[in-house]
Chains A and B, each alone.
Chain A
Amino acid sequence: MTAAGAELTLRHPVERFSLDNGLRVVLAPDRSVPVVAVSVFYDVGMRNEPEGRTGFAHLFEHMMFQGSAHVPKMEHARLVQAAGGTFNGSTHQDYTNYFEALPAEALERALFLEADRMAAPAITEENLRNQIDVVKEEIRVNVLNRPYGAFPWLQLPQIAFESFANTHDGYGSFVDLESSTVDDAADFFSTYYAPGNAVLCIGGDLDVAETEELVRRWFGPVPARPVPPLPPTGEPSPTGPRRGEVEDRLAPAPAVAVGWRVPDPVGDLDTYLGTVLLSELLSEGDASRLERRLIHDDRIAIAQSSYVGLFGDPFDVRDATLLTTQVHHPAAVGVDTVLAAVHEEIAKVAQDGVPADELARVQARTEAQLLRQADSVLGRTLGFAAAELIHGRAELAGELAARLAAVTPEQVQAAARGLDPDTAAVLELRATGGAK
């Protein structure tokens, strides 16, 4: 590692141990602010759902807040919030997580709450029916009642991929949600929420020895269960272009998304990092290639963005994933005009490469953004946990800025060569009947 690289490595040390029941534990102490973050990542996400149970990983996330053996419904929230803390959970393609950020003196309480629901969540008929209703409202507010609601994260994968794991609706169909039963939930819990299928990561104002003792006290008694094998999510690379369209009755203007398959984030991280910087170079800020071309020079777009990973976080997904470029454009501009300009800008990078000073600026910006995320105890803790679960190394989260700083112009050029128009998946959103 270069001297510059060493400076970019986060100074937070990481401690690691496992319990006999298989739970992996990562501690990331930092005593500068009297705050701790506790997170549990289960190795099950939207891509693990069986056919006929779309949306189940997310529905189950809701069930984990409905009480547990020693905690009545609503009490999880009260116990965290009345301690001055915040909490949430979220479902991703490859994992589901639960987390709290609290004053340091509430650490043991948070560990108790997470351990209690890891041991025995309250999976009852009443709770399940109630949360199916709540999830349906979540889907209405985020997808059905909103222009551009699912665009492109629920629709583009259907064009870009082949397997059920990668193409189905991770929010779930109302039919699948409504037909879910308590037995389904109990099975799902038993299969995927085993301690050996989880990572517990705690960051912030903590004493390592004391915290290890608390973790053993509360999580140690959770019985071990078999851990399911990792499902294969990788797919053969596409060999031809694919195109599809969706109608949006609520949207006032059209939009288009282009997705290209990118290298395996886990198996081929170094090549993948070139792709991550390419997406920044293309789309981050007024100095970026696509902002200049589409917005300022040609004036054929209202807004543009590019990102790696369906939810915009390149470091929390396994294979297979996409670099997505998303453009909102005026109705008067044809979609092929937009696509031609996007492909042309990428071709320039592929043919001419990237000036070193341009890449250095992009790297400085990326570094600042990574540091900003790491400035919050919770942000840092979630980063360590995701790196441990996906890459098997929490330390990677602290090294990313240095790894990205070491990426060369040649790597970015190589990444651009991978974004071939002939293997891209294109999704057009047609605005049909919106206001205006």
Chain B
Amino acid sequence: MSTALDLSLIPPLGEPRPQPVPEVTETVLPSGLRVVVVPRPGVPLVELRLRVPFAATSARSAATHTARTAVLSGAVLLGTAAHDQTEIAQLLQGHGAELSVSADPDRLLLSTTLLPEGLAPVLGVLAELLTSAAYPNDQVEGERARVAERISIARSQPGVIARTALAARRYGAHPYALQLPSPDLVLAVRSTALRTLHRDRLVPAGSTLVLVGDLDPQAAIDAAGSALTEWSREGEAVTAPDVPAIAPGALEIVDRRGAVQSNIRLGGPAPGRTDPDLPAVRLANMVFGGYFSSRLVENIRERRGYTYSPRSSVDHLVASSSFLVEADVATEVTAPALLETQYELGRIALTPVTEAELDAARRYVLGSMALSTATHAGLASTLSALLGAGLPSDWLAEHQRALAEVTVEQVQDVARRYLAPSGLTAVVVGDADVITEPLRALGPVEVAAGEVEE
């Protein structure tokens, strides 16, 4: 830059204004369902999240369970004893609502936005689905065929191929190794299996209902209590078994012939939500690659132009938390991009971050938490995830205080233990003919066949 810089021009930050603390009212219904309500001013809307523990019980049953869960997520909306699928959708739509059902390796999540006057009727439709979803044979057949097609499409996406390969390598025989069910198993799912799965696993014990928005807490709890009285099935919440420790092993290349880009993925264990190491690891992650102002972005995007959006993150499942690194890079620079990524990982593991880097990361994490919980939808999703992980609703405030106290020494200590390249499992999806030899220069490599089994 030609002009001399006068950074004194940059306006200083004013005094932070206090973030409003959410006022949480909660109760546990006789059925075991936990109901959490947060009144919020702002737009006249309510956000609803019902989270039901839905992990596979064992590695042996995981493939079938995942296939059935994928079909159940759509099929639960195919009608009830009293209303068909269209009527259910219409009953919700009249209140601005549309129920979406999604599954991950830990849970089933039913969520919607609704207009406040619709709270009681929408809870009524929810209760109807929970207690009398019909799973009509004919429609279930259609649903499973669509789910199988959608999985085939998902499996053609390079990001999905990479995620699937990394999970398989990191989790071995654990249910978390299965990111997507096989289309064959999906096509074999029958209505009777769905009814059984629904009866055994869609139970109130261990489930949480979160309501955030334009509502009165006690009235909302009463409305939930009376709408959901019938949902009282006995049953146990199932959470995933412990995750075995698996050593990283050689870099795996998944061949995708003719690919014009390679998808680099690294992953390893990270501290869980209650681990005192977590705040420091979250900040180490930010400095390394967690946001735009990070070392990884500066190096492989802004300095070298290898990639559009490199990033790292700390992700939590109930039985396992992960530190993950992702970069989609031009085929011809795959090995140099991995080299630079490993260099930055080694650097953060072995040398201290600066106070300025740590302070910037800290302010960003605190600021973005405040931004993401400033909306009804953001707060509802955050609370639902925290409660589902067994944490109290004031965990967020505790965590913010802990983040404020993390030191440079703590960041360096956890970076050495969690971010060092030697501890991470690595997968690269790309054109093996072009990328294998250069990648061998960095260490041992195994080449896997291109396509997933089918």
Q: Which residues of A contact B (CB under 8 A)?
A: 32-35, 67, 69-74, 77-79, 81-87, 101-109, 111-112, 122, 124, 129-138, 140-141, 144-148, 205, 249-253, 284-287, 292, 295-296, 299, 302-303, 328, 330, 360-362, 364-365, 367-369, 371-372, 374-378, 434-436
On whether the beta carbons of B363 and A137 are closer than 8 Å, the reply is no
Q: How far is B85's CA from A153's CA once the two chains are assembled, in angstroms? A: 32
- Choose from A74, A141, A286 the contact partner of B261 (Cβ within 8 Å): A141
Given contacts A35-B371, A138-B308, A299-B145, 15 further A-B contacts (CB under 8 A): A33-B374, A34-B16, A35-B374, A86-B368, A109-B11, A122-B1, A140-B308, A140-B330, A141-B308, A147-B153, A286-B77, A361-B94, A367-B115, A376-B378, A435-B156
Which chain B residues border A101 with CB–CB below 8 Å? 371
On whether the beta carbons of B451 and A83 are closer than 8 Å, the reply is no
13 contacts between A and B (CB under 8 A): A34-B16, A85-B364, A131-B305, A137-B305, A141-B328, A249-B258, A284-B98, A286-B85, A367-B115, A372-B376, A374-B43, A375-B377, A435-B452
Look across to chain A and name the residue whose beta carbon is closest to the beta carbon of B17.
Answer: A34
Given contacts A287-B86, A362-B93, contact A296 B142 (CB under 8 A): yes
Q: How far is B375's CA from A107's CA once the two chains are assembled, in angstroms? A: 20
Q: Which residues of B contact A (CB under 8 A)?
A: 1, 3, 5-7, 9-20, 41-45, 77, 85-86, 88-90, 93-98, 113-115, 139, 142, 145-146, 149-150, 152-153, 155-158, 258-261, 291-293, 298, 301-309, 328-330, 359-360, 363-364, 366-368, 370-371, 374-378, 451-452, 454
Q: How far is B150's CA from A148's CA once the two chains are assembled, in angstroms? A: 13
Q: How far is B83's CA from A373's CA once the two chains are assembled, in angstroms? A: 31
Which chain A residues border B259 with CB–CB below 8 Å? 145
**Chain A nearest CB: distance from B363 CB in Å?**
4
Q: How far is B374's CA from A103's CA once the two chains are assembled, in angstroms? A: 11
Q: How far is B376's CA from A376's CA once the two chains are assembled, in angstroms? A: 9
On whether the beta carbons of B98 and A146 are closer than 8 Å, the reply is no
Q: How far is B303's CA from A398's CA once the two chains are assembled, in angstroms? A: 42
Which chain B residues border A365 with CB–CB below 8 Å? 93, 96-98
On whether the beta carbons of A109 and B10 are closer than 8 Å, the reply is yes
Which chain B residues border A129 with CB–CB below 8 Å? 305
Which chain B residues border A130 with CB–CB below 8 Å? 302-305
On whether the beta carbons of B293 and A435 are closer than 8 Å, the reply is no
Look across to chain B and name the residue whose beta carbon is closest to the beta carbon of A364.
Answer: B96
On whether the beta carbons of B17 and A104 are closer than 8 Å, the reply is yes
On whether the beta carbons of B11 and A108 are closer than 8 Å, the reply is yes
- Choose from B42, B94, B146, B307 the contact partner of A137 (Cβ within 8 Å): B307
Look across to chain A and name the residue whose beta carbon is closest to the beta carbon of B100.
Answer: A285
Q: How far is B43's CA from A133's CA once the two chains are assembled, in angstroms? A: 42
On whether the beta carbons of A82 and B363 are closer than 8 Å, the reply is yes
On whether the beta carbons of B114 and A328 are closer than 8 Å, the reply is no
Q: How far is B8's CA from A71's CA once the two chains are assembled, in angstroms? A: 11
On whether the beta carbons of B93 and A77 are closer than 8 Å, the reply is no
On whether the beta carbons of B94 and A364 are closer than 8 Å, the reply is yes
Which chain B residues border A287 with CB–CB below 8 Å? 86, 89-90, 93
Which chain B residues border A131 with CB–CB below 8 Å? 305
On whether the beta carbons of B150 and A302 are closer than 8 Å, the reply is yes
Q: How far is B43's CA from A308's CA once the two chains are assembled, in angstroms? A: 25
Given contacts A33-B20, A81-B364, A205-B17, contact A434 B86 (CB under 8 A): no
On whether the beta carbons of B302 and A137 are closer than 8 Å, the reply is no
**Chain A nearest CB: distance from B175 CB in Å?**
25
**Chain B nearest CB: distance from A436 CB in Å?**
5
On whether the beta carbons of A144 and B260 are closer than 8 Å, the reply is yes
Q: How far is B150's CA from A253's CA once the two chains are assembled, in angstroms? A: 10
- Choose from A134, A145, A302, A374 the contact partner of B158 (Cβ within 8 Å): A145
Which chain B residues border A73 with CB–CB below 8 Å? 1, 302
- Choose from A72, A105, A251, A286 the contact partner of B1 (Cβ within 8 Å): A72
On whether the beta carbons of A147 and B1 are closer than 8 Å, the reply is no
Given contacts A360-B94, A371-B45, contact A286 B89 (CB under 8 A): yes
Q: How far is B451's CA from A32's CA once the two chains are assembled, in angstroms? A: 52
Look across to chain A and name the residue whose beta carbon is closest to the beta carbon of B117.
Answer: A364
On whether the beta carbons of B293 and A83 are closer than 8 Å, the reply is no
- Choose from B6, B139, B292, B370 the contact partner of A35 (Cβ within 8 Å): B370
Which chain B residues border A296 with CB–CB below 8 Å? 85-86, 139, 142
- Choose from B44, B146, B298, B377 the contact partner of A74 (Cβ within 8 Å): B298
